[in-house]
Structure 1
Amino acid sequence: MSRPAGREPRRLTRWWRRRSLRTRLTVIAATAIAVSVFVAFQVASELMDWELRDTAEDQLRADSRVLAADAEHAGVAQVQLPPYPGSGRLVRVILPDGSTRTPVGQPALPPVSGHAWRVAQGASAALMESNDSDDDGYRIYTLRAGDGAVQVARVADDSPINRFGFGMLLIGLLCVVGGALVGRTVARAGLAPIDRLTAAAVRVAHTRVLDADIPDEGGGEIRRLIQSINDMLAALRDSRQAQRLLAEDAAHELKTPLTSLRLNVELLIRLDRRGTLDSALSAESRTRLLNDLGAQVAELSTLAAELTEVARGDVSDESTELLDLADVVVAAATRARSRVPDIEVALDVTSVWMSGRPAALQRAVLNLIDNAGKWSPADQPIQVRLRAEGASAVLEVDDAGPGIDAVDVPRVFDRFYRADSARALPGSGLGLSIVQRVVDAHAGRVTVARSARGGALLRIILPAAAPPARITRLTEGLDTVAR
């Protein structure tokens, strides 16, 4: 049963991919040297063959001229032929009647060819031809002499080429072996930094210790690779440190509401078991206790949601879309009013389009309004303004509270940071840090200033975008109708 034609190449490709880089470099070096030796052998063989052929032909011409001079002087029928030396040169005289003369004891040459016979008849002066019909081929030179012709021949000897080829084969094998060894050595030396890099990465994976940087050695690509891995380790260290700090801060922030909640619940359970719940607590005390429990649960829920939001970092499944920031601000203000009915929000917004994540932006605006609601007096509304300034969308949340102290401004967006004056108020210290993260994710910036009413003025500046084409056409149509 025959195998598919493409299976063997795929198998060879899989085998090659499973080899180590060191083995690949060794095989490539040995193959390159083998190909170079083969090409050099072919070129050298051709050059040597041409040189030997030219030398033999020049010798045949010189010998034939000497023999032709003797034949013209004595006649082709009476010229004295040199005795056969036992090897090497062979001679023959072609007479006018077509017969030939050869020295005694000389091996027979191939029959006179038609071209050589025409030279003897005077059709041309000379002819160089080769005869490879026998096991030993001949190279024969025919030269017109008197009323006939003389021929000088030599056996076409390939032994020098064969000896040269054998020598080149041995040299090639030695070069391939040497190339493999050199390639192996070069690969080992060149990949030594990668081996050390691999060992360091394995050590980090086993020990989970990210503090030790990999030594920066080598140059070029190796150095850039080591620097990239060191940067990655530094990023992992920062991430682990941020996770540790987040866990510690979360545990610290959860401790107080959980402790208070546990004490209140234990008090209710203890009184209920004694059967003195109704007599020990008045209706007012029970109401106050239940309200405290509800507030603590709400605080825990808010803290858990904000911790989840912070832990997610910049990872979000929400896609970016073209949106009207005014719709986001109005939705956030509506949610703020529903969560705290006593809060009053005064909106002054204009349509500003941008590219962003609507849910994240709404959360950021809601956090700003919630933060302002903690400080603004009950009779003073929170002013929320949205306008376009050039290529930016500017959102301002203005409250009439005491404002933010100058010492607290640099840290107001830090996680879990709460000013001394805010520790008695509900909150986790994560709201403004979430605002900062959302604004950073949208390539914007957030600032803190003092408002004209004496309170805090938090300003968000985001890059605006052109409105959709249908909105532009509708606006132009309304302007036309108005005119």
Structure 2
Amino acid sequence: MSRPAGREPRRLTRWWRRRSLRARLTVIAATAIAVSVFVAFQVASELLGWELQDTAENQLRADSRVLATNAQRAGLAQLQLPPYPGSGRLVRVILPDGSTRTPAGQPALPPVSEHAGRVAQGASADLMESNDSDEDGYLIYTLRAGDGAVQVAHVADDSPINQFGFGMLLIGLLCVVGGTLVGRTVARTGLAPIDRLTAAAVRVAHTRDLDADIPDEGGGEIRRLIQSINDMLAALRDSRRAQRLLAEDAAHELKTPLTSLRLNVELLIRLDRRGTLDSALPAESRTRLLNDLGAQVAELSTLAAELTDLARGDVSDESTELLDLADVVVAAATRARSHVPDIEVALDVTSVWMSGRPAALQRAVLNLIDNAGKWSPADQPVQVRLRAEGASAVLEVDDAGPGIDAADVPRVFDRFYRADSARALPGSGLGLSIVQRVVDAHGGRATVARSARGGALLRVDLPAAVR
């Protein structure tokens, strides 16, 4: 049963991917050296063969000219041909009638070829040809001499090339072995920073110690990788620190309303069990207590919602889109009026387009209006203004309240921070912190100042879209 044609390449690919990087580098280095040696052997063999053949041809031409000169002086039939010495060149004289003369004791050469016969007949001046047989190969040079021709032959000897090839084979094997060792050494040395980086990352994962920076070593890509991981650890440290602070602040802020809520509920339960609820708490006091409980529950709900919003660590998963900030401000003002009917909001907005997250921006504007509504007198509206100023969208929310003390200005946007004068008012101290985070996420800036009416002026600058 035959296997599918594509299965073997896929299996080889899976096997290769399962190898370690060190093993891959070793195999690549050994393969590169082996291929280089093979290519070098092929090129060197060809060059050596060409050089040996060129040398042999030049020697045959020189010997043929000497023999032809002697033949012209003495005549082809009378030319003295010394006995064959047992090795070296082979000689043959082609007479005008096509017969041949050879030295005594010389091995027989291949028959005179048709082209060599044409040289003897004067059709061509010379001819270099090779004859490869099963036993011996000959390189034969034919030169016109007198009325015939002379031939000088050389037995083709491949032994130098074979010896050279054998030597190159041994050298190649040694190079492959050496290349494998060098590849392993290079891989071990080159990957040593990676190994230390891996060990450091594993140590951080096991100990959960984000304060242990990985030593900066190596260069180029290794250094950039280490710096990236250290930056990631720093970001994780900041995130963990922020989460810890958020949890500590949340626990502190939840403690007071939960304690008050628990005491009030326990009081109601205790009086109800004794059957003295009506006598101990007149209707007016009971109504006031229940209103306080409702306000505390609402405050806890708001705090829980704002804590959830802050704990997510980013603005939201909401996508960014091109929007008219005026629509966002109008929608936020409408929500503020529905939440607290007593708040009067005076709008003075112009259309300003920007790229942002509409829900997050609306939440930030709503928090600004709610914050201003806590301080504005009942007969003074919260003024909300939106205009384009250069390349920015400028949003201003001001109230006619007492304003913000100079000592409190630097901490207005801190989480859970509430000025002494604001502790009696409802709120969690997270509203302006959420505003700051939304503004930062949109590349803007939030500031606080005193308004012309004597209250607080909260200003937000956001980058406007280029239209």
Q: Matched residues in 2 for 1:196 and 1:147: separation?
A: 87
What displacement does 1:81 show? 1.5
Tell me the equivalent position of 2:145. Answer: 145
Tell me the equivalent position of 2:7. Answer: 7
Number of residues of Structure 1 aligned to a counterpart in Structure 2: 467
For 2:166, what is the secondary structure of its paired residue? helix
Residues 315 and 358 (structure 1 numbering): CA distance in 2 closer, same or farther, change over 3 Å? closer
Bigger shift: 207-216 or 441-450?
A: 441-450
Q: Matched residues in 1 for 2:332 and 2:183: separation?
A: 68
Q: Matched residues in 1 for 2:433 and 2:135: separation?
A: 97
For 2:385, what is the secondary structure of its paired residue? strand
Bigger shift: 426-435 or 51-60?
A: 51-60
Q: Matched residues in 2 for 1:68 and 1:329: separation?
A: 113
Q: Matched residues in 1 for 2:464 and 2:74: separation?
A: 114
Residues 95 and 354 (structure 1 numbering): CA distance in 2 closer, same or farther, change over 3 Å? closer
Superposed CA offset, 1:318-337 (max 9, x none): 22233332232222222222
What displacement does 1:315 show? 4.5
Q: Matched residues in 1 for 2:157 and 2:411: separation?
A: 97
Q: Matched residues in 2 for 1:276 and 1:443: separation?
A: 60
For 1:458, what is the secondary structure of its paired residue? strand
Residues 460 and 135 (structure 1 numbering): CA distance in 2 closer, same or farther, change over 3 Å? same
What displacement does 1:291 show? 0.7
Q: Matched residues in 2 for 1:201 and 1:96: separation?
A: 93
What displacement does 1:284 show? 1.3
What displacement does 1:119 show? 2.1
For 1:44, what is the secondary structure of its paired residue? helix
Superposed CA offset, 1:254-301 (max 9, x none): 111111111111111122222222222111121111011101100000
Bigger shift: 131-140 or 206-215?
A: 131-140
Residues 162 and 259 (structure 1 numbering): CA distance in 2 closer, same or farther, change over 3 Å? same
Bigger shift: 375-384 or 4-13?
A: 4-13
TM value normalised by structure 1:
0.92
For 1:443, what is the secondary structure of its paired residue? coil
What displacement does 1:432 show? 0.3
Q: Matched residues in 1 for 2:2 and 2:258: separation?
A: 75
Q: Matched residues in 1 for 2:138 and 2:162: separation?
A: 17
For 1:197, what is the secondary structure of its paired residue? helix
For 1:135, what is the secondary structure of its paired residue? coil
TM value normalised by structure 2:
0.95
Q: Matched residues in 1 for 2:228 and 2:319: separation?
A: 30
Q: Matched residues in 1 for 2:81 and 2:227: separation?
A: 87
Superposed CA offset, 1:220-246 (max 9, x none): 111111111111100110000001111
What displacement does 1:369 show? 1.4
For 2:303, what is the secondary structure of its paired residue? helix
Superposed CA offset, 1:119-152 (max 9, x none): 2223333222111133311011122333332222
Alignment check: 8 A CA contact 2:346 2:381 kept: yes
Superposed CA offset, 1:325-370 (max 9, x none): 2232222222222222222222222333333222211111111111
Q: Matched residues in 1 for 2:259 and 2:379: separation?
A: 34
What displacement does 1:15 show? 2.5
Structure 2, gaps ≥5 residues long: none
Bigger shift: 51-60 or 322-331?
A: 322-331
Q: Matched residues in 1 for 2:336 and 2:124: separation?
A: 117
For 1:182, what is the secondary structure of its paired residue? helix
Q: Matched residues in 1 for 2:344 and 2:118: separation?
A: 126
Q: Matched residues in 2 for 1:31 and 1:256: separation?
A: 73
Alignment check: 8 A CA contact 2:315 2:360 kept: no
Residues 78 and 134 (structure 1 numbering): CA distance in 2 closer, same or farther, change over 3 Å? farther
Residues 348 and 124 (structure 1 numbering): CA distance in 2 closer, same or farther, change over 3 Å? closer
Alignment check: 8 A CA contact 2:95 2:149 kept: yes
Residues 403 and 59 (structure 1 numbering): CA distance in 2 closer, same or farther, change over 3 Å? same
Q: Which 4+ runs in 1 deviate beyond 6 A?
A: none
Alignment check: 8 A CA contact 2:93 2:151 kept: yes
Residues 334 and 127 (structure 1 numbering): CA distance in 2 closer, same or farther, change over 3 Å? closer
Q: Matched residues in 1 for 2:142 and 2:366: separation?
A: 111
Alignment check: 8 A CA contact 2:68 2:150 kept: yes
What displacement does 1:391 show? 3.3
What displacement does 1:5 show? 3.2
Alignment check: 8 A CA contact 2:315 2:438 kept: no
For 1:314, what is the secondary structure of its paired residue? coil
For 2:104, what is the secondary structure of its paired residue? coil
Alignment check: 8 A CA contact 2:315 2:437 kept: no
Tell me the equivalent position of 2:107. Answer: 107
Q: Matched residues in 2 for 1:159 and 1:109: separation?
A: 21
Q: Matched residues in 1 for 2:75 and 2:88: separation?
A: 25
What displacement does 1:58 show? 2.0
Superposed CA offset, 1:381-408 (max 9, x none): 2222222333332221111111111111
Superposed CA offset, 1:85-118 (max 9, x none): 2233222222222222222332211001112122
Alignment check: 8 A CA contact 2:82 2:104 kept: no
What displacement does 1:65 show? 2.9
Bigger shift: 206-215 or 382-391?
A: 382-391
Alignment check: 8 A CA contact 2:332 2:363 kept: yes
